[in-house]
Amino acid sequence: MATLLHIKSSIFGDAGQSAQLAARYVDQWQQKNPVGELVVRDIIADPVPHLDAERMQALGSDAGTRTAAQEAIVGYADTLLAEVKAADQIVIGVPLYNFGVPSQLKPWLDHLARAGVTFNYTENGPVGLIEGKKVVLLATRGGMYRDQGADYQIPFMRQFLGFIGLTDVEVVYAEGLAMGDHAEQSLNQARGELDQLVAAL
């Protein structure tokens, strides 16, 4: 049975442009996978805590030596990771806010970056340990940044995901959403591209 993990990160909830594109993707995926499982991780409604020293120490601790508080922290991170590992596909709505990804998305990523669990450093550099998943990023922006040096959203996402082994990443861009008539044209193009992505599954 196919599993899709949907990460929601628009501060506007289901009204966000990235959320609406993601809903379209999920709808079509469900039509193609009527018995597939959809798992939703809504990091706006249910924020992931920011990393701090306590959480880092817990995540770096050895099993069997942990306090109850550390067990809870590791258990929580394990749950986030298990959702990723169980998924065949991951769809992430990624808005651009103040030149970066939503601040709520960063701690979700931070909890997935675990030495010895999701990546290892070898003599040849880092090796990601999560394999065999497709990730679809639905990138929404008020302006136009695609393939420009000022794009700190999608290159960052690709870098991070690749670091933990998620190298099969497709990006659908909806740009210029604050640029008058351009918005509808851009959204239409994004809808068409994501329809093709689901059709090609």
Which residue ranges make up the site for ligand FMN (CB under 6 A)?
10-12, 16-19, 93, 95-99, 140-143, 177-178
What's the min distance (Å) between Cβ of 7 and ligand FMN?
A: 12
Half-sphere exposure of 164 (CA within 13 A, CB side): 20
The burial of 109, by beta-carbon neighbours within 10 Å (0-12 exposed, 13-18 middle, 19 or more buried), is given as buried
What's the min distance (Å) between Cβ of 109 and ligand FMN?
A: 17
What's the min distance (Å) between Cβ of 17 and ligand FMN?
A: 4
CB 61 within 8 A of CB 70: yes
Q: How many Cβ atoms from other residues are within 10 Å of residue 147's Cβ?
A: 9
Residue 107 or 142: the one with the smaller Cβ distance to ligand FMN is 142
Residue 18 or 89: the one with the smaller Cβ distance to ligand FMN is 18
What's the min distance (Å) between Cβ of 153 and ligand FMN?
A: 9
Structure tokens at 86: 């169980």
Residue 128 or 143: the one with the smaller Cβ distance to ligand FMN is 143
CB 166 within 8 A of CB 90: yes
CB 41 within 8 A of CB 49: no
Residue 10 or 118: the one with the smaller Cβ distance to ligand FMN is 10
